[in-house]
Structure 1
Amino acid sequence: MSKKVGSGGKPTRTASEVVESPQANSSTRAVVAATPRHLLQLEGMDRVTLTRLLRRATMHATKAEAGENAEQTLSGVTVANLFFEDSTRTRTSFSMAAFNLGARVLEFGATTSSVSKGETLIDTARNVEAMGVGVLVVRAKQSGAAEMISKDAGASIVNAGDGRHEHPTQGLLDMLTAAQALGRVETLDFSDLRLAIVGDAVSSRVARSAIHGFTTLGAKVMCIGPSAMAPKSLETLGCTVERDLDAVLPDVDAVMMLRVQFERHGDASGAKASPLIPSIREYRVGYALTPDRESMMKPSAIVMHPGPMNRGLEIDAAVADGERSVILQQARNGVFARMAALEWVAAAPQIAK
């Protein structure tokens, strides 16, 4: 099979090749491999690797619940958060994850760096890596940015969200949360689970990672929204596309609400206007998760949201703060999922076997 060729004529590594990077040595601490391992996407990740990551994240969650400190598996490793796009939950949880594992953490913001002076993402990453950084956590507005940086990197790269492409650690924490809330932590078998992703899926890297991750574990995933936000072309990712939210709600086990990403529709004014929908009012009529719609869900079903939320738009406050909501649990699990991800790319032997 021929390899994909990226810009510059160099072959682009497939997801499976990224997954099969060399393993760590047998020491008790992480040693970033000579050929680094990257976590760029969930597409193509095999079930064994995905399950290994989720079991490690579950272990971290269990220890934290018991009040135990995490093993210092990243002692001696420096992790740099290179965020070229704004973030609250992702950036904070990566910092906490690295700190919990004993790593040194460097924080980087695009607005206070040489990027604001015209330096490229690649040059910035190379310069930070040259200072002895072992893991670069990268968020960028451009799809494919993390993979582009990874091509010649000596450090491991973790994709913290790249444009509309993927957000793999968000996918991990979403699967962990669903497994906990729906009683599937032991088996991680989602073969009879039905997940509805509602809203602006076409703009959402979260949706893409969720589709790849949940379907790998056996779930049926549906994307629901108006045609401009949930086009039939999304079905090539492995989901189905539906239009009628009310018809779907009674049968699903989990509902993941997505915000309307106005900034990706060309609206930089904050006016909350989008060419993809006629009006906010009409969007709410068809796709907002209101208390009335929540009452249509089966008793065991859960409500998820990756954040940030637009309360009163895609989800009402009473639902976001209600008994079904696992939104704060998602935020908490972000730390544990990212601890597992950092250990995995840094080749900590406890997870890299």
Structure 2
Amino acid sequence: MLMIRSLAAGLRIYLLIATLILLSGLQFFLPRLPRPINLPPSRTVATTNPLIGVHTRLTGIGDEAYIRRTLAQVNEMGASWIVELFPWAYIQPRSRYGFDWTGADLVIAHARAQGLNVVARLDIVPAWARPPNTTDRYLDRAHFADFAHFAAAFAERYAPQGVRHIIIWNEPNLRFEWGERPPDPGAYTDLLKQTYPAIKAAAPEAIVIAGALSPGPSLEGGNLRMDDMQFLASLADAGAFPFFDMWAVHAYGGQEPPDAEPGVDRVNFRRIELVRELLDRLGGSDKRIIITEGGYNDHPRWSGAVRPADRIRWTIATYEQSRHYPWLEATILWQFSTPFLTRSYPDAWNFVHPDGTPRAIYLAVQEYARTGRLPDDVEK
């Protein structure tokens, strides 16, 4: 009898261990099933200016209530466009052989429900695709094909859902964004040459966007930043133009109103006109321009900020002036909101506080988008 009890106890332990091993195996080998998305009824954006857009910061948050509220507020402000970063490191965190679309699915599904046009920015390198002790902006030629494969998979999944605008990298003329290496237009051209045909093969309807350069003259002899005009000209020399459909511009206003005269050494909104002229001279007259960052900061103690009243007037004037450029796809300003405070000047780019409370800039743009009326000192 004692032997039988011992065998039974041993069998129970064996079954328990086997069950734990089975459950662990299922957790490891079976794909994680995404949670159902709680979508609101679909709606469209009511606006008098269809070029209005804002840059959002949602991927990676994972809080569906926050994402839903934020994108609903974007709709209610009268903005039809958003730029959102979809990091490669989030979607292929472990290797080139699998994808985790959970976070991207959540953001894109809610953006679609709100009737928003999504411009997808693709960058941020996973650890497996870069050497040790490098930053997450470091992408070498050995992994260009891996990035192209990721971008093609993204386009294949989301272009049929309406996400047609895809930006390849962010500010490649800036040392920080090029992985703490001097900017290299030849390398960026090679990245486009591999990524563009991969995306087009997967989703012919996709619009591949290049550029999104840091605006302004060279810094530290071009090692910190290469002049955006020089970088664009170097791309033309390297044969990049057949490998993108649209050019992205970061059109910050600085401390000047949006109608201030442009100049090669000045960073203001109308610098986009110089970009347009250069594109045309280089043979890119067929390339439309899209503004993927821009706007004004109204922090009371930052040297680059403007007064809150000027920010309101000049932001609305920026959106209004954009309507006079037939070659401009959208004007998407930085940034709608963040889920946290830095308690410094970056907070003063926001249209909405982290808790969802609209700032004065939000309410002013909302009124303009609804009525088309401009502040008294802003002319059409």
Would you call these one fold, judging by a TM-score over 0.5?
A: no
TM-score normalized by the length of structure 1: 0.28
TM-score normalized by the length of structure 2: 0.26
Mark the structure with the bigger radius of gyration.
2
